[in-house]
Amino acid sequence: MTTGANAIAGPRVRSLAASTAGAALRGLALGVFAFAILGPLANLVLWSVAERWYTPFKLPVVYGFRYWEAVFRPTGDAMASLGTSIEIALLTVVFAFALSIPAGYALGRLRLPGRVLLLILFMLPQAFPSVAIYMNVARIFYTFGWTGTVAGVVAVHTVHGLVYSVWIAAAAFAAIDRDLELAARNLGASAWRTFLTVTLPLATPGLMASAVFIFLESLDEFTGTFFVGVPQVSTLPLLLYNASMGGNYQIASITALILLVPSILFMLVIERFLNPQVLSRIGR
Amino acid sequence: MLVRLTFGSLLSAATLILAGPAGAETLNVATAGDQNMVDYVKDYLGPMFEKTHPGVKVVAVGTGPGDAGSQKIYEKLSAQKQAGAAAWDFDVVVAHQKMAGQMVKEGLLDKYRAGIPTGALVTRDTAENALGADVGGFVMPMFHSQTAIAYNADMVKTPPASYSELVEWVKKNPKQFGYNGIKGGMSGVAFVTGWIYAFGGNTDRLLKGPYDETTKAAWDKALADLKDFNRNAVITPGNAGTLDMLNRGEIAMGPVWVDMFYSWQAEGKLPPSMKLKLVAPGMPGQPMYYAIPAKAPQTKLAAEFIALATSPAVQAEGIVKRFNWYPGIDAQHLQGKLEPATWQKLFADITPEDLSSKGKPFPIAPYFNDILESYEKKVAN
Amino acid sequence: MDRERPSLAGFLLVAPALAMVGALFLYPLGYSLSAAFTGPDGRPTLAHFGKAFELYSGDILFTIFIVVVSTAATAAVAIAIAGILVLGRPGRAVALLGWLYRFPLFIPFIVAGQCMRTFLAKNGLMNNSLVALGLIDPGQGASLLDWRGIVITFVWKQVPFVTLLLAGAMAALDRATIDAARNLGAGRVRTLFDVVLPQVMPNLTVALTLSFVTMLSVLSVPMMVAGSQPTMLTVDMAFRINAYGDYATANALGVLSYAMTAAAAFLYLRHGLRTGVLR
């Protein structure tokens, strides 16, 4: 009886110990990972409330919100720039959709010779170091009077983010079950109506996923905005860039934290659309 | 075509709704340099000007630190000129020496100085000559700044007084001296330029010309030594990177801009024990210039703005007291406008004598380029 | 996948997007290319490339090294995370991981650079934390603000993107093959590498290609995280323009950087064609 119980308990105890060790190991690994991901961000938060911080002190000597006040001061234009940034990012998403829904449909669904080359073509604006390009874009825009307009900036951001919107839209359309469309057609719906009532709603999750990337890309963009938008259009990354390159860490950190807000809100709204079926087809 | 149409209509619709405050009474000021330059216009100069000019709104835009910032101003103006725009984007620009020279050469600037009351308050050579380019009449110095070696007095009891002593010091204290190479900002460039002044010979010719392209061959030894020197030095990321490493005590010494140094110290980002030393035979400094683009929409307002900015009262209160810069106009005009304590604080580590004997300009533009490119070729690559 | 209609309509649908790329990218790019290949006398020349190699040969190699190492490291970390997310025992740890890894996705590169340069420094927050935990002795920590800093920042920033696409692809796989392998006694690691990964290779390639080209064109990270000797080509391009107004050499460097992109695009293409997903 006792021996039998032991015989059963032995392995169980051992496996319990093993699983505890495993859990500890997992916890440790997760801790290290959390440190790697959040550590740099914690640093950002620390700097945003550090009023004095220098060697040999490991943590700020004086904490305070002086720099937050500076960012939100009446003459500071952080909030106005933030508004402009969000406005541009949203318009960029809309404009990119207008271009990439038809293009994505064609690339995802129709037989196009040279399809791969087209896909690569959309990747190119993402790849070329941007200063040289934007200078020339500005030159072209001046002749049309498009500089200093929100629309001009939106156009530049759209081209830059097109790789995400087109590739993902193509994936979204390719992932749609044809039978649903056929059913609609058989019931007498026109091709156009079928597209609007069946295809497009089915592709929406994928399109929303691409919206995340376009939005973020636009929010991150600095060089194009400068050449095409400044001085009439000023965005938060411009502010951040100056503060950061100039070593004004508090201002830069606060600006960066402000910039995170719309990104995370946007992500929360859109997260439920990030659907594996679509993500798996991007760029294929 | 279709695209052009849709894009065009979207554009015009959007412009109608979203057009920025580009009304007739906006004064657009573009300033190169660090964030403090933008803040200076935004928080100090702008409101002051708006008070005396009701209905005018001053909009300040920063274009980024260092020559890169001035380059962007130049590119914008140049692109507008090539596109044949009737009125350009900026009313006032604040630029570094090198780009100011180029902008004058290419006819991008207005010759306004004779027309403003403060034009006669500056007699310094840098108001006429920017790295060998004749800029007389086109610019007013906003301030002068100077590079110097910053050191942590807790870690370094007797700082080196010259480049040669610095070389010895670095040999004894490897990896305790840091500078930002030449691609990360002007304080590193200034250090390298000072090195050539110290060990390359013929400084006078570099400063005054005439240019001779064979001169650079004489720098080979100096550059080889610098490469050797770099083995024991830390290359930091940027002007701010050097200050940053001084902040955390990772290096004990490094070249910095004097105004940035004082601002960082005032903001609690440098230990109070940090001090400055201007080493022999000297390190370069430079002014920032106010200029008016040739086709600025608001020429008259722009001139009035600059007149205010270069008035003795503003130079004393704004430039010297608040932002720790050396004044742009001649110093004697500030007498009586400042308490002696403020004046002395500015000259605590670097005396006026140091400044006049060891504060050098940068070399004329072609030599300047030669120094940078020789460094890239012989030291960095 | 059947694409039923070989059509002109398809091209018409792509045309607006294509026109945008043409007008706002290819056309301005034309200026750049002609500047790179034209001498001061207006004749075609390769002199700018000569200069680019003479001054920046080290930086060209450095750039290739950085992006290749970063891409490889990104791939490794992303595979590990995606593998755990899809094959790991569901539970709080996995859920937490799935929530954590996405954060850097929302951080612009410039902010990432800003975070990292005070985090990875010798007396930065990372080493200070390790000292406080008693893991290393004070003064023992090394500064990572060199090529390692750039790689770490890139990996930190790009892993969420690649993982997102990869985990999405893995989740979309038919569970039957995975379960079959597991039932046959294959461990999780083996299942990941022998069963799951081969099926999502195209997705991985796509994600890595996008990461690769993005990293090639980032200026702020190498500028802010590491000293300038050696540095990446974007910094050299900016310097060429800012210090000398020398667009020709800057554009020549841009062309070189494009050649690297072309190599990446070629791999993507070859892989796509071989696995048949692009047909």
Interval B128-141: pLDDT, tens: 888 889 998 999 99
Residues 220-279 on B with a CB inside 8 Å of A are 238-241, 243-244, 247-250, 260, 264, 267-271
Q: Does residue C30 surpass a pLDDT of 50?
A: yes
pLDDT of residue B190: 93
pTM metric for this prediction: 0.84
Helix %, strand %, coil % of chain C (to 5): 75, 0, 25
- Does C242 contact B67 at a Cβ distance shorter than 8 Å? yes
pLDDT tens digits, C32-48 = 888 888 888 888 888 89
Q: Does residue A54 surpass a pLDDT of 90?
A: no
Gap between the Cα atoms of A93 and A212, Å rounded? 9
Which domains does chain B carry?
Answer: 2-144+286-346 (3.40.190.10), 145-285+350-380 (3.40.190.10)
Kindly list the distances between the CA atom of residue A257 and the CA atoms of A45, A250, A252, B76, B264, in Å, as whole numbers in the listed order.
Answer: 8, 11, 9, 30, 22
pLDDT tens digits, B42-81 = 889 999 999 999 889 998 888 877 777 888 899 889 888 8
- The answer as to whether A6 is a domain residue is yes
Measure C21 CA to nearest chain A CA, in Å.
Answer: 6
- Does B61 contact A138 at a Cβ distance shorter than 8 Å? no
pLDDT tens digits, B289-321 = 999 999 999 999 999 999 999 999 999 988 888
- What lies within 8 Å, CB to CB, of A19 at 6+ separation is none
- The answer as to whether A29 is a domain residue is yes
Do residues B170 and B229 lie in contact, with contact meaning Cβ atoms separated by under 8 Å? yes
Q: Which of B66, B71, B181 sits opposite C227 (nearest CB)?
A: B181
Same domain, A155 and A31: no
Average pLDDT over every residue of A87-111: 92
Residues 137-166 on A with a CB inside 8 Å of B are 138-139, 142-143, 145-152, 154-155
Structure confidence at residue B22 as a pLDDT band (50, 70, 90): very low
Q: Does residue B229 surpass a pLDDT of 90?
A: yes
- The answer as to whether A56 is a domain residue is no
How many other C-beta atoms are found inside a 10 Å radius of the C-beta of residue A1? 5
- The answer as to whether A70 is a domain residue is no
CB of B107 within 8 Å of any CB in chain A?
A: no
Same domain, A144 and A261: yes
Same domain, A202 and A91: yes
Q: Does residue B30 surpass a pLDDT of 90?
A: yes
Gap between the Cα atoms of B251 and B242, Å rounded? 8
pLDDT tens digits, B233-243 = 999 888 888 99
Gap between the Cα atoms of C271 and C279, Å rounded? 12
Measure C251 CA to nearest chain A CA, in Å.
Answer: 7
Query: Which residues in chain B are closer than 8 Å to C231, comparing Cβ atoms?
Result: 183
Same domain, A173 and A100: yes
Query: Which residues in chain A are closer than 8 Å to B76, comparing Cβ atoms?
Result: 138, 227, 230
CATH classification (class only), C56-275: mainly alpha
Average pLDDT over every residue of C95-109: 83
- What lies within 8 Å, CB to CB, of A185 at 6+ separation is A191, A194
Same domain, A157 and A17: no
Q: Does residue C240 surpass a pLDDT of 60?
A: yes
Handedness of CA C126, C129, C135, C137 (dihedral sign): positive
Same domain, A18 and A149: no
Q: Where exactly are the structural domains of chain C?
A: 56-275
Better-predicted residue by pLDDT, C60 or B335: C60
Q: Does residue B20 surpass a pLDDT of 50?
A: no
pLDDT tens digits, A243-273 = 777 777 888 888 888 888 887 787 777 666 6
Domain range for A7: 2-38
- The answer as to whether A61 is a domain residue is no
Same domain, A108 and A12: no
Do residues B60 and B31 lie in contact, with contact meaning Cβ atoms separated by under 8 Å? yes
- Does C20 contact A155 at a Cβ distance shorter than 8 Å? yes
Gap between the Cα atoms of A238 and A243, Å rounded? 9
Give the number of domains in chain A: 2
Same domain, A113 and A237: yes
- Report chain B's mean pLDDT, rounded to a whole number: 86
- The answer as to whether A44 is a domain residue is no
Gap between the Cα atoms of A250 and A246, Å rounded? 11
CB of B348 within 8 Å of any CB in chain A?
A: no
Same domain, A120 and A30: no
Do residues B269 and B211 lie in contact, with contact meaning Cβ atoms separated by under 8 Å? no
Measure C228 CA to nearest chain B CA, in Å.
Answer: 6
Q: Which of B66, B182, B248 sits opposite C124 (nearest CB)?
A: B248
Candidates C121, B235, B270, B244; CA nearest to A40 is C121
pLDDT tens digits, B171-201 = 999 999 999 988 877 889 999 999 999 998 8
Average pLDDT over every residue of A196-217: 84
Do residues A134 and A156 lie in contact, with contact meaning Cβ atoms separated by under 8 Å? yes
Interface partners of A (3+ CB pairs, < 8 Å)?
A: B, C
Better-predicted residue by pLDDT, C156 or C261: C156
Q: Find residue B147's DSSP bridge partners.
A: B257
How many other C-beta atoms are found inside a 10 Å radius of the C-beta of residue A98? 17
pLDDT of residue A129: 64
Residue A12: phi and psi, rounded to 5, are -65, -45
Same domain, A163 and A241: yes
What CATH number does residue A119 fall under?
1.10.3720.10
Structure confidence at residue B14 as a pLDDT band (50, 70, 90): very low
Average pLDDT over every residue of A173-201: 86
CB of B51 within 8 Å of any CB in chain C?
A: no
Same domain, A14 and A146: no
Gap between the Cα atoms of C259 and C278, Å rounded? 22
* Backbone torsion region of residue B268, taken as left when φ is above 0, otherwise alpha when ψ lies between -120 and 50, otherwise beta: left
pLDDT tens digits, C145-154 = 889 999 999 9
Same domain, A90 and A214: yes
Measure B197 CA to nearest chain A CA, in Å.
Answer: 27
Measure B234 CA to nearest chain C CA, in Å.
Answer: 8
- The answer as to whether A114 is a domain residue is yes
- The answer as to whether A154 is a domain residue is yes
